[in-house]
Amino acid sequence: MKMTGKDYIRIDAYEKVTGRAEYMGDLVHKFPDLLYVKGLRSPYAHARILRLDIQKASRLSGVRAVVTGENAGVDWGKFPQQSRMAVTETLWAGQTVALVAAESLEEAKRAIEAIEVEYEPLEHVLTWQESFCERPKSVVDPKLPIHQPGKPMHFPYPNVAGEFVQQKGEIEKGFLEAAVTVEGEFWTEKRVHSQLERAAALCAYEKDGKFTMWCNGCGIHGVVKKALAAAFPQIPYSDIRVISPYTGGSFGNRNIPYVELPCFLMALKTKGTVFYEFTREEMFTAAPTNWVCATKIKLGADAEGRLTAKELRLIEELGAAAGNEAYTGRLSGSSTANTYSVPNVSFLGCSLLTNTVPAGPYRGLGTPDAIFGLELLMNELAEKLHMSPLEIRLKNIILRGEEDDYGEEITSIGVAQCLQQAAEAVELSVPCVQDGSEWLYGKGIACCGKQNGPNGRSEADVLIHHDGSIEVRVSCDNHGMGVSTALVQIAAEELSVEPKQIRLVIGDTDRTPFDNFSASSSGLYRTGGAVRIACRDAKRQLQEEAARMFGIPAELAEIRENRVYLRGTYVKSVPICELFRPLSMFEQDVWGLKQGTPVRGHGVFCPAQAVPWDEKGRTPRMWNWFQYAASAVEIAVNQKTGQIKILKIANAGDTGSPINPKIVEGQLEGAAHMALGFTVQEQLLYDENGKVKNASLGDYRLPLILDMPVNENVKVCICPDPLPDGPYGAKGMSESVVSAVGAAVAGALYDAAGIKADHYPMTAEMVLRLLEEKKAVHDEKERRQT
Amino acid sequence: MYFERYERPETVQEASALLREERESRILAGGTDLVPRLKSGAWKTKMVVDLSRLEELQGVRYTKRGLELGAMVRLAALQEERSLQGAHRLLGECAGHVSSIQVRNMATIGGNSCNASPSADTAPAMLLFNASACIRRGDTEYLLPMDEFYMGAGRTALEQGDILLRFVIPKQPEHTGAAYYKYSIRGDSDISIVGAGAKLVLEEGRIQEARLAFASVSAKTIRIQEAERMLLGQEPTKELFQEAAVLCAGLCAPITDQRASESYRRKMTKVFAEKALASAFRRISGI
């Protein structure tokens, strides 16, 4: 029975469309004695706290606790940066200065207003341009470990937090062999994930002294519970229970438990049940953003268009991620290393701090930002060599079995197919017709790859009950991407039953087995792997029982369609439910399968670990596998206003073999919309104090549905190259598919108007400026000629 | 959202008395500006006076004074209003440009003016048509030209206790054309970068009356009278409209904010003033 590769209806569809699905906001009404938490936030990007007086606030009616960085009684070093409260100094505007728990939200707000703070504003740096220098106005973290005396740095700047170097071949030789070279500098801006459901946590201090937390954070075991246990070492690990209700999106934002930890702290302080939910404004000012990438790239190619050399400098701007050594520019840089085969490579990356909210992963982990310039330079090479952007890409992509820049073998790569299908969908080879209006028309294409780290561990339990019902228990994240349905399909395929026979139990650390988190597009791959193993474990137990009952070797029993098929005995098959014997109250010696005690299969899956890289940054195993995508667009650019209109978009993804193609198509469409938003119009803006000044959905220009091309002009293509070690050939897909859109739009902008974008978002103002600059150059030329 | 009293008076007299009795009171019309501000704490008030029961503030009708437009007419209703005549239809168009359908279903034409946002999409039409506000102050009613009604961002000529009853919009001459362009990044749901309105009255091939009104390029909705005067008595041509648009761009007073920079707003003022003039001209009947 084939249950994967099919458009099975989402298992959560009915609950969601009927409004029965419960989210964080629905839980609030179940706790009559709920306390509400509210944070006081720094209005300055960088300031010293001279005086902080909570006396008045503490005495207000309904106030149960007022906590400051000083009196919290915790080690802030054990908290993720985004959840650290300021003690003597604030490092970003929006950092928590005090927390209040009160009997109503109104009382909590009043208490916040009654807290008296005196700040001494200090100099701040908000952008990579301000921070990446020898003498920045503000040094965000003076104690960075990388700045040890005698330790040579490539960028000896005080706000540089980490570095990564990679070398392959000989870069000078590569450029000598080049017939043409191109180079450029590119960067991107800050954006927010804008998931529909705001960050929220509800923590109950139970009668027996244990804690139960409901939250919409990722990784209930591997992130939330682990972080709580680390930050509050006095609480025994098993006294913490974390439950995930239905959640409304994350896109990387909820990989950091920035609301869970303060919520737990307030439950501990009040010994009550507390609820902490960010406002939409706080989602802009106090929740992690993406990190910005700035790149300086030089490419060389021979006369046939084959890349000979790639030199890349990359800055990853992380905000005020003080004390974090995990970031070195390597994560964003990895996306520039896996798509094109280049014999000579020199990569130098670094991470950089500023006085903005500490960044977190944003769908793509820096891929859209890092590859933007690389993809635009591929277009420039093509132009110089009189090739098409499609042709030059196809000529240089890595083939299955070849190596990436790290030196590891690529086992699944469908990017060529993605490129071809995306190009076809917008008829890339047919030039746009200009109609003489104020609109100019153009087409563009780009592609990309995104790595998946071999980190984490997923477990699954599969219970087969005597009545034939099947339960799958997992703890992977379920933010709406559709993994829950795909896991049910995987179990259905393994057990050869209809998906509707399977019930998925998900997201409760007391009941569902361990899972790290589903980051890096790995939910399906990793948890799916565990479900398969668990199903096989359960099947094996049934086979063994059948073998015992009928006196045959276990391998002669086959489980499918709710029956055991037997060979070598007088019975051809029996229903599985008949393997379970009734169990009476006084029966003795009750071994074997009994009614009421399900067969319990357990599966653990973790990818093989990476091998440490050598001094050249190379290793035979670093990233596990890669997802690929290509996007092509047709756009119109208004010569008078600079506005870009997207007329057509084709988004093609190498998703491995899709378990549920319909859900994958939905992801491809959603990704196109999201990426068009952040590459064309979304951007965080800061005022003179470093505070976000467009902190609302009114002023932050998240695209609306009417900003998108009509449905028939949004084309999606699934181009699978099956992943050998993925469940039924599947791999993750949701990050690569947002990553090539920006470069495709910029390519189309050049095709339409002959202007080159060096950063995004490509707002109307920016495009108009480029158009004016081009006109000025043109006018100047004409003036000289006459 | 906290306030001590909520009142829903049945008569204008009662409403006026309530508003004068409690100085810390706010009027609830459609609520699309009031409620978010009360919720966020930007505004605090002791009493909310709901005007939804006041018949006198409803209705769209033509009288000898012209079009009388009740302050409590919802924007969605105005957008669909079929009795609007000639160039007055622009009022319905402008109402349709305000925000989203959900907001227009609640928001009122009076509220859009009283809120006095510099970006209000219905305000330029009021100036184009030389509308007046009919205001109840104490026990008397008086008419105030809309030119004098808008005083600044969030400021109007209304005093505490005043109630805007209706707009009186004069009938427009036969050969009148009027148009309004809202330029924003995300369509009507977004707040405009510039809103440009133009009205032209033509007689014997020459411009007899011209009005140019703009949203979002000054602290209040403004007219650019120098450009209007420049158009008077002229034959309408593309070049003339361009010249007028350049004047508008030079004379408006935009700021840089999270939606656009000052210089971009000026450039867009030129682009959309020209478009509005051209469109107003095309709309003049019989030409």
Please give, rounded to a whole number of angstroms, the shortest distance from the CA of A70 to a CA of chain B.
29
Please give, rounded to a whole number of angstroms, the shortest distance from the CA of B1 to a CA of chain A.
8
Contact A701 B190 (CB under 8 A): yes
Prior bond of A262 cis (ω within 30°)? no
Please give, rounded to a whole number of angstroms, the shortest distance from the CA of B259 to a CA of chain A.
7
Question: Residue B1 has what pLDDT?
Answer: 81
Strand order in the sheet with A307-317: A160-168, A344-352, A307-317, A292-301, A180-188, A759-760
By percentage, how much of chain B surpasses pLDDT 90? 97
Please give, rounded to a whole number of angstroms, the shortest distance from the CA of B23 to a CA of chain A.
23
Q: Locate the chain B residue with the closest alpha carbon to A768.
A: B264
State which fold the A459-583+593-605 domain adopts: Aldehyde Oxidoreductase; domain 4 (3.30.365)
Question: Residue A591 has what pLDDT?
Answer: 85
CA distance A493 to A504: 15
Contact A765 B260 (CB under 8 A): yes
Q: Locate the chain A residue with the closest alpha carbon to B269.
A: A641
In SS3 terms, A313-340 reads as EEEEECCCCCCCCCCCCHHHHHHHCCCE
Question: Residue A1 has what pLDDT?
Answer: 66
Interface of A with B in 339-358 (CB under 8 A): none
User: Does residue B286 surpass a pLDDT of 70?
Assistant: no
Q: B-chain residues within 8 Å CB-CB of A703?
A: 186
Segments of chain A with pLDDT less than 70: 1
Contact B41 A698 (CB under 8 A): no
Q: What is the residue whose two structure tokens read 């003339």?
A: B240
Q: A-chain residues within 8 Å CB-CB of B189?
A: 704, 706
pLDDT tens-place string over residues A625-680:
999 999 999 999 999 999 999 999 999 999 999 999 999 999 999 999 999 999 99
CATH classification code of A414-454+625-786 = 3.30.365.10
Q: Locate the chain B residue with the closest alpha carbon to A704.
A: B186
| Mean pLDDT, residues B15-44 taken together | 95
ipTM of model: 0.94
Strands B25-28 and A439-452: unpaired
Contacts with B48 (C-beta within 8 Å, 6 or more apart), sequence order: B3, B5, B6, B7, B25, B26, B27, B28, B34, B38
Please give, rounded to a whole number of angstroms, the shortest distance from the CA of B186 to a CA of chain A.
6
Q: Locate the chain A residue with the closest alpha carbon to B268.
A: A641
CATH classification code of A124-191+289-386 = 3.30.365.10
pLDDT tens-place string over residues B44-81:
999 999 999 999 999 999 999 999 999 999 999 999 99
Q: A-chain residues within 8 Å CB-CB of B186?
A: 681, 701, 703-704, 706-707
A663, A4 Cβ separation under 8 angstroms: no
CA distance A360 to A219: 15
CATH class in words for A24-122+198-277:
alpha beta
Contact B185 A701 (CB under 8 A): yes
Contact A768 B2 (CB under 8 A): no
Contact B185 A764 (CB under 8 A): yes
Q: What sign does the CA torsion over B95, B101, B103, B107 have?
A: positive
Question: Residue B21 has what pLDDT?
Answer: 94
Contact A706 B2 (CB under 8 A): no
CA proximity to A741, closest of A645, A649, A648, A642: A649
pTM exceeds 0.90 = yes
Q: What is the residue whose two structure tokens read 């965080």?
A: A684
Nearest to B258 among A106, A109, A699 (CB): A699
Q: What are phi and psi of B195, to 5 degrees?
A: -120, 120
Distances in Å between the alpha carbon of A783 and those of A735, A770, A777, B24, B29?
49, 20, 10, 65, 59
Q: Do domains A24-122+198-277 and A414-454+625-786 have the same CATH topology?
A: no
Any CB–CB contact under 8 A between A15 and chain B?
no
Count other Cβ atoms within 10 Å, centred on residue B66: 19
Contact A681 B185 (CB under 8 A): yes
Q: B-chain residues within 8 Å CB-CB of A706?
A: 186-187, 189
- The first and second tokens of residue A376, run together, are 């635009």
Nearest to B183 among A641, A699, A701 (CB): A641
Contact A693 B187 (CB under 8 A): no
Q: What is the residue whose two structure tokens read 């361990």?
A: A514
Contact B191 A704 (CB under 8 A): no
Question: Residue A150 has what pLDDT?
Answer: 85
Q: A-chain residues within 8 Å CB-CB of B259?
A: 699
Residue B86 C-alpha from the chain's centroid: 18
Chain pair A-B, CB pairs under 8 angstroms: 38
pLDDT tens-place string over residues A744-755:
999 999 999 999
β-partners of residue B179 are: B198
Contact B186 A699 (CB under 8 A): no
Q: What does A498-561 look like in DSSP terms, one character per residue?
A: -GGGEEEEE-BTTTS--B---TTTTIIIIIHHHHHHHHHHHHHHHHHHHHHHHTS-GGGEEEET
pLDDT tens-place string over residues A45-98:
999 999 999 999 999 999 999 999 999 999 999 999 999 999 999 999 999 999
CA distance A748 to B248: 33
Residue B46 C-alpha from the chain's centroid: 28
Q: Locate the chain A residue with the closest alpha carbon to B262.
A: A765
The H or E element spanning position B262 is helix B262-283
Contact B264 A768 (CB under 8 A): yes
The residue ranges of every structural domain in chain A are 24-122+198-277, 124-191+289-386, 414-454+625-786, 459-583+593-605
Contact B2 A106 (CB under 8 A): yes
- The first and second tokens of residue A525, run together, are 């791959």
Query: Which of B32, B44, B185 should we substitute to test contact with A (largest number of A Cβ atoms within 10 Å)?
Result: B185
CA proximity to A485, closest of A531, A452, A517: A531
CA proximity to B16, closest of B5, B3, B27: B27
Question: Residue A505 has what pLDDT?
Answer: 98
